[in-house]
Chains A and B, each alone.
Chain A
Amino acid sequence: MIVKALKKMTWGRAAAHALLLFLVLIWTLPTVGLMISSLRDKDQLSVSGWWSALTLTERNEVARLPKADKQLEENGQFIIRGELFEAGSGRTVISFGTSANSIGQAKPGDIIPMRDNGNISLSENGSYEWVSNEKFTHTRGPRLFYEAGIPPSFSLDNYFEVMQSQGIGRSFINSFTVTIPATIIPILIAAFAAYALAWMSFPGRGWIVAIVVGLLVVPLQMSLIPLLRMYNTIANITGGQAKSYLGIWMAHTAFGLPLAIYLLRNYMVGLPREIMESARIDGASHFKIFTTIVLPLSFPALASFAIFQFLWVWNDLLVATVFLGNTDSTLVLTGRLRELLGSRGNNWEILTSGAFVSIIVPLIVFFSLQRYFVRGLLAGSVK
């Protein structure tokens, strides 16, 4: 079968395979790199690229040797012994020296003179022996420079750290708190409006549809300042909080409505007329038709919108910053991530694992419900 496939392969087809493979790699590697990095040890992450995660990482390190009070006297010689590495770390010494510039001076097993007195030997597993004929008197240990080989190690440590001490755990809860109500409530309101616009006749219907289509593209930026002022005024009058979950739920509900009404109306218009008419002849009211016939039939459209709204609210930064604020207890995941980018810009172990926590939920939703998402996209782009 493979031979047959190869025979059919022309240069053009081979080029198509190669080009698509190349594009797929560009599109997936960034995310893969992030995921691999988030599982790596943070010391390795900061010195070697994620593509070398499975190889030995080489890193220059410094250790301060113990003070004179650790010395032992054996056979007339004074000795200081110790270990550079923790037991079981699997690390090895590649080379060492007594100053930063001479780090490649000696290989493991060599004996080199120390600056003050005596000689030091260092074995590959990191145990050293500093021997002198005179008694050690130093009060501050000299430094030993060495290049360490660090074996690859993967763990969930970075995740435990971001979830607990970097506030990602708290933000994870906040994101869910914002997203769930802001996804469910607009669906209900939009479904009724969409039904009215699709199946009831009344003056001005066409205008309302036109306004909804227009509002689809109105930039959010237009709403922010007036709403912020309005929220502040209401908070002043009632003595409540301007930035609250209730406020952001309402804002997200409103911002999601144009797309919800548009999607649902387009879907409901396409439902077969005969069903509605026969139900009306049987004496069913609009309310009854809507709840017992239209709503169940519209499930695919409802699901499409729910996914859209979920992804949009979960991934939103602008609305959350404006209506929920930047305090430690209210930051959602996107806001927290932005904050970490500013304050911990070089701590990639925190950024990569934090980012992965924030994208894992939408990725699960996306891959499990991709069919509905695509259907919604196709219906939602204004034709």
Chain B
Amino acid sequence: MFEQVISAAITVIIGVGAALAYFWGSNWLLDRFLLTGPDDSAQKSLRRDRARSTIRPWLFLLPALLFLSIFLVYPVFETIRLSLMDSGSKNFIGLSNYIWAFQDPAFLQSITNNIIWLIIVPAVATALGLLIAVIADRLWWGNIAKSLIFMPMAISFVGASVIWKFIYDYRGVDTDQIGILNAIVQGLGGTAQAWITLPVWNSVFLMIIMIWIEVGFAMVILSAALRGVSEETLEAARIDGANDIQIFFGIMIPQIMPTIIVVWTTITIKVLKVFDIILAMTNGQWDTQVLANLMFDWMFRGSDFGRGSTIAIIIMLAVMPIMIWNIRQSNKEEGTK
């Protein structure tokens, strides 16, 4: 254990040292070998200056580009290739994996569940986040409230799963419940249930965990956007006799619409990738399977890299429109120079 801590510390030192040595050393070499002196002809020093300023950006970028290409760009193409191969990635089998996917009940179940998640989670999280942002900004203890509601963002999905599994806990019909949900249900005269094993509703109980985490994110971003709504417009509307609700829907919402879309799409992407909650709570049993967990299943338990890759590609396809939209937005600001 002690050795492990030491080795981690050494890695930090070596890693940071190597990076620094690379950046410093390569720049030094560049300046050393393409040195321009006072004796050089004007043409020669111009040429060397130009060569230096052509090479230097790439020296700065090289490590980042290497990491990005090996760990993110190349795998995208490799995953596409593997999705056309059989389980051992030896033989080309064309689109068979995709045909299998759309006939497999587990896959169809996962995709249905993913769609339900995509409809409910971003909408509820954004709406609740907006509601809290609007209320909290008007109350004197609003900042404390926001800080507390924001807190689950720091908690892992697995940690949150433990927290909520404890809430949904079920101990037989006739015993005292230690899960607060069943205690409340019993207190109101209902019967305690094993919520996590009740199909359809159990997915909702899993979604609540994700909503619990993401509302804080939506709230923080939307609260900042609301502060940017111009005070003069609001004042003018008040003078014209608009009430709070009209101002909210008529002026605030349209003005912060771009931010609402950003929040919505960000949560959408997170929902597409969510896997920890399902793995920890049900592991896909009782009809709760989703794509990311199904992929994990095929990758490790099924050890079928072909099918695993196919599911990954389908998740990727779902993210694609958002990705293209993001790139367009960023290009509009920068221009692809």
Task: Give B283-326 interface residues, CB cut-off 8 Å to A.
Answer: 292, 295-296, 299, 305, 308-309, 311-313, 315-316, 319, 322-323, 326
Mark each residue of chain A from 238 to 257: 1 if its CB lies under 8 Å from any CB of chain B, else 0: 00000001100111011101
- Measured between beta carbons, the chain A residues less than 8 angstroms from B263 are 381
Determine whether the beta carbon of B64 is less than 8 Å from that of A261: yes
Known: A227-B75, A348-B178. A377 touches B331 (CB 8 A): no
Q: How far is the CB of B266 from the nearest CB of chain A, in Å?
A: 6
Q: In the complex, are the beta carbons of A218 and B76 less than 8 A apart?
A: yes
A-binding residues in B (CB < 8 A): 1, 4-5, 7-8, 11-12, 15-16, 19-20, 23-24, 27, 31, 53-54, 56-58, 60-61, 63-65, 67-68, 70-76, 78-79, 82, 89, 128, 132, 135-136, 138-139, 142, 145, 147-159, 161-167, 169, 175-180, 183, 212, 215-217, 220-221, 224, 244, 258, 262-263, 266, 269, 272-273, 275-276, 279-280, 292, 295-296, 299, 305, 308-309, 311-313, 315-316, 319, 322-323, 326-327, 329-331, 333-337
Residue in chain B with minimal CB distance to A28: B148
Known contacts: A33-B167, A225-B305. The answer to whether A210 contacts B319 by CB under 8 A is no
A49 CB contacts on chain B under 8 angstroms: 176-180, 183
Is A16's CB under 8 angstroms from B138's CB? yes
Q: Are B323 and A218 in contact, CB atoms less than 8 angstroms apart?
A: yes
Q: Across chains A and B, which 7 residue pairs bring their CB atoms closest together, nearest first?
A: A254-B71, A315-B156, A206-B336, A193-B64, A366-B154, A226-B78, A196-B60
Chain A residues near B57 (CB-CB < 8 A): 196, 200-202, 205
Assess the A202–B54 pair: CB atoms within 8 A. Answer: yes
Distance of A35 Cα from B199 Cα, bound (Å): 30
**Chain A residues numbered 325-341 whose CB sits less than 8 Å from any CB in chain B:** 334, 337-338, 341
Query: Is A359 touching B156 in the complex (CB atoms < 8 A)?
Result: yes
Q: List 19 A-B contacts (CB under 8 A).
A: A20-B135, A24-B149, A27-B212, A49-B177, A184-B15, A185-B15, A201-B57, A202-B58, A217-B269, A219-B316, A219-B319, A221-B295, A222-B72, A290-B60, A315-B156, A338-B276, A338-B280, A351-B166, A377-B220
What is the CB-to-nearest-CB distance from A321 to chain B, in angstroms, rounded to a whole number? 8
Cross-chain contact B330 with A213 (CB below 8 angstroms):
yes
Q: How many residues of A contact B (CB 8 A)?
A: 113
Q: Are B148 and A317 in contact (CB under 8 A)?
A: no
Closest to B14 in A: A181
Q: Which of A136-144, A148-156, A169-177 lies at the binding interface?
A: A169-177
Contacting pair A46 B155 (CB below 8 A): no
CB nearest neighbor in B for A351: B162
Task: Report the minimal beta-carbon distance from A376 to chain B, rounded to whole angstroms.
Answer: 11
Q: Would you call B31 and A337 a contact (CB within 8 A)?
A: no
Interface set of A (CB-CB < 8 Å, partner B): 12, 16-17, 19-21, 23-24, 27-31, 33-34, 37, 45-51, 170, 173-174, 176-177, 180-181, 184-185, 188-190, 192-193, 195-197, 200-202, 205-229, 245-246, 249-251, 253-255, 257-258, 261, 285-287, 290, 311, 314-318, 322, 334, 337-338, 341, 348, 351-352, 354-355, 358-359, 362-363, 365-367, 370, 374, 377-378, 381-383
Collect the chain A residues with CB atoms within 8 Å of residue B164's CB. 30
Is A229 in contact with B71, judged by CB distance below 8 angstroms?
no
Decide if A286 touches B337 in the complex (CB within 8 Å). no
A222 with B76: in contact, given A17-B139, A358-B159, A382-B329 (CB under 8 Å)?
Answer: yes
Q: A222-B316, A366-B151 are in contact. Are A285 and B31 (CB under 8 A)?
A: yes
| A47 to B177 CA separation, bound complex (whole angstroms) | 8
CB-based contact A378/B220 at 8 Å: yes
Contact of A206 among B221, B272, B335 (CB under 8 A): B335
Query: What's the Cα separation between A338 and B16 when bound, in Å?
Result: 33
Q: How far, in whole Å, are A338 and B293 apart by their CA atoms in the complex?
A: 14
B142 contacts across to A, CB distance below 8 A: 20
Q: A196-B60, A210-B336, A222-B75 are in contact. Are A33 and B159 (CB under 8 A)?
A: no
- Whether B162 and A287, one on each chain, are in contact in the complex, defined by CB atoms closer than 8 angstroms, is no
- B residues less than 8 Å from A24 (CB atoms): 145, 148-149
Q: How far is the CA of A314 from the CA of B269 in the complex (A)?
A: 20
Whether A311 contacts B15 by the Cβ 8 Å rule is no
**Taking the nearest CB of chain B, how far is it from the CB of A46, in angstroms?**
7
By a CB distance below 8 angstroms, the chain B residues around A48 are 176, 178
Question: Which listed residue (B72, B165, B262) contacts A341, Cβ 8 A?
Answer: B165
Chain A residues lying within 8 Å of B311, measured Cβ to Cβ, are 221
Least CB distance from B246 to A in Å reads: 14
Give chain A residues whose Cβ lies under 8 Å from the Cβ of B53.
200, 202
Chain A residues positioned under 8 Å from B1 (CB to CB): 170, 173
Task: Tell me, rounded to whole Å, the shortest Cβ–Cβ distance linking B14 to chain A.
Answer: 9
Using Cβ atoms and an 8 Å threshold, which residues of chain B touch A33? 163, 166-167, 180
- A216 proximity list for chain B (CB < 8 A): 326
Minimum CB–CB distance from A55 to chain B (whole Å) comes to 12
A184 to chain B, nearest CB (A): 6
